[in-house]
Each structure stands twice: as C-alpha cells, then as structure tokens.
Amino acid sequence: AERAAAKEWNGVGETADGKPVKVIANVGSGADARAAVAAGAQGVGLFRTEFCYLGASEEPAVETQRSAYHEVIAPFAGKPVIVRTLDAGADKPLAFLDMGVEPNPALGVRGLRVAFDRPDVLERQLEAIAAAAADSGAEVSVMAPMVATVDEAAWFAARVRAAGLARAGVMIEIPAAALSAAEILGAVDFVSIGTNDLAQYVFAADRQAGALAELNDPWQPALLRLIAMIGRAGRELDKPVGVCGEAASDPLLAGVFAGLGVTSLSMAAAAVPAVGAALAEHPLAAFEQAAEAALAAATPARAREAVRTVLA
C-alpha cells in the first residue's frame, strides 16, 4: 500500500499496459456519492439502497425513493452507477415487511428472497430507480443481492427490463451462485462479487464474529479459487465481473482480482486512490502470474507472500 500510495492516481483505472479495470465506489447516501466523486471514483459499483428504508415505519413512497436515489446518482452523470435493490432480512428488519423471527437470519429470507413474497415492493423500487435514472445522465444498472440460482437471476432481470431499465445484474455472494456463474451470466448483463457474504457462506463463518476473522480473510485460497471460476466465466462470455466487497479495497489483492478476470473494483471512497495507483504499477500479465501464485498457495499468509514475490 505504501508503494502504491507513492504513485499518483490519475482517475483512469487501468493496468500499466492499459488494460481497463474500473475503480468505482460503494456508497449509501448523497454525501457518500459526493465524497466518491472527490476521490476520483469512475462511477458507483454498489449503491446500498437500504438507507432509504431503514427506520421507516412505512414503505417510502415512490417519489420519496426517487428523490433519495437521484441525490446519489446525479453526481455521476456520464458514468456508470450500479444500484442494488433492497437488501433486508431478519438481521436488518423493516417495520413494513413483517419477516418474522428467524433462528438463522443469515440463512433466512433476506435480499432478493424478500421480493419473491413481496414483488410489489420490488416493482415500486424499480419504478423509483427508473425515474431517478431517467434525468440523471448516468449509466444506471440495477443488481439484486443474495441470488442463489439462475432462475432467480432470470426472474430479477425480467422485472428490471419490464421497468424500462437497460442493464440488470446480480451479486454473487452465495457459493451456489459462484458455482453457476456461467449460467447466471447468460441470464444477466453483469455480476458483482460480494466477498463479505461470499466468504461468510464459503467458510460457514459469521462475518460479524471477530473471533472468526481469519476464516473471513479474503486471501483465503478457497475463496480466490471461486472468484477465479467467476472471472473465467466472465471472460468466456465477455461480460463484466466486478468485486464490491471489502476485499476490493486491498491494493495488493486488487491486482490479483484483475489477474483473475475481474473488470471492476468497487470500494469505500477512501481506498480509491491507492487501489487505482496499485493497478497502474504492473501489466495485466504480471497480475495474472500473481493470481496463479495466490491460487496455488495453501494459506492466506502464503498467498500474500507469493503475490508480493511475483510483483516485487
């Protein structure tokens, strides 16, 4: 990270040999969006729309949603913005969606699963996103959280297109979806890997349990091997594969992701300059070599060490 910071971020995400890897931001509010623009983010890879709903005792009206979304989207005129539909569940309960008490909220009705029971809530959200996108000048895409199967991905994409939105994608954060990446990419326009949840489900380790942080380390080779599968599917189908979990903000890991076929990295605004600078330090072929070394490692520590050696 220190070496990366030494080089200036010029606002264009690409490797040293000019292969594009978009450096974009995770945002949850208008203030976040403005900070991301100031940091030089090339767009938004994850707009968490939950903020608009949390604490609301009733579902916000379409116009209320539209104006909240517009505040986030508008600063990115001419740039890509990926809006994620509501990611709620028993762990993030909403007063107007009686989801009941679940013994295992992380394995319960959360994310897109809520929309299977309440498609009307999704439809109103898509209507508000389409209205916010219409006069924003941004290239707005919509993606769903917590998708497990290709049928779910296709169900979502059909609703997004019916709402008049051009681009539909899904998050890959459930291992079953990672194992079906090629089929899922066939049904949508792009995918984005949520490494926070994907690690949690791959390692059966609660992402909020500090005692299990070593299992949730994104350098775990088992996690990297799944990401490699998704990257390969993206290259074969020539469709974008993003990473929008915390892992994308690690400048050393960013190059590994690029080497695995990831085409955009989305992170907190503060991490944008260091990741952008790290990508510019090596050609894609070097990152591919680094990725091979990480995949072959037995532990996270050895994966880090192997990548440092390749890129030294």
Query: Could you list the active site residues?
Result: 244
CA distances from 208 to 58, 110, 196, 197, 237 (A): 28, 16, 10, 10, 35
Does 102 appear as a known binding residue?
no
197 marked as part of a ligand binding site? yes
| 9 vs 201 by CB, closer to ligand PEP | 201
Q: Which of residues 223-282 bind ligand PEP (CB under 6 A)?
A: 244-245
CA distance linking residue 219 with residue 112, whole number of Å: 28
Residue 141 binding result from Mg ion, ligand PEP, none, given CB thresholds of 5 to 8 Å by partner type: none
| Cβ-based nearer residue to Mg ion, 245 or 273 | 245
Beta strands in the chain (DSSP E): 22-27, 44-48, 80-84, 139-144, 167-172, 190-193, 241-243, 264-267
Q: Which is nearer to ligand PEP, 128 or 147 (CB)?
A: 147
Q: Give the whole-angstrom CA distance, residue 35 versus residue 45.
A: 14
Q: Does 197 bind ligand PEP (CB under 6 A)?
A: yes
Q: Which stretch binds ligand PEP (CB under 6 A): 51-59, 70-78, 188-196, 294-302?
A: 188-196
190 vs 286, beta carbon nearer ligand PEP: 190
Helices (H), 167-271: 175-179, 181-187, 195-203, 221-237, 251-259
| Distance in Å, CB of 302 to Mg ion, minimum | 27
Give min distance, CB of 281 to ligand PEP, in A.
25
Q: With CB cut-offs between 5 and 8 Å by kind, which of ligand PEP, Mg ion, none does residue 244 bind? A: ligand PEP
C-beta separation of 172 from 192 below 8 A: yes
CA distance 196 to 37: 24
Question: Among residues 195, 216, 220, 264, which is the contact residue for ligand PEP, using CB under 6 A?
Answer: 195
Contacts of 224 (CB under 8 A, 6+ apart): 218, 256, 260, 291, 294, 295, 303
CB closer to Mg ion out of 193 and 275: 193
Candidate residues 13, 194, 218, 221; the one interacting with Mg ion per rule CB under 5 A = 194
- 250 a known binding residue? no
Binning the chain into helix, strand and coil, the percentages to the nearest 5 are 50, 15, 35
Candidates 271, 272, 251; CA nearest to 41 is 272
Q: How far is the CB of 148 from Mg ion (least distance, A)?
A: 13
Q: Is 167 annotated as a binding residue?
A: no
User: Which of 35, 43, 36, 32 minimizes the C-alpha distance to 77?
Assistant: 43
Task: Name which position in 23, 25, 47, 48 contacts ligand PEP (CB under 6 A).
Answer: 48
Is residue 188 a contact residue for ligand PEP (CB under 6 A)? Answer: no
Selection from 33, 51, 56, 52 nearest residue 43 by Cα = 33
Q: Which of residues 133-162 bind Mg ion (CB under 5 A)?
A: none
Residues that bind ligand PEP (CB under 6 A): 46, 48, 87, 173, 194-197, 244-245
Residue numbering of the annotated binding site:
48, 84, 173, 196-197, 207
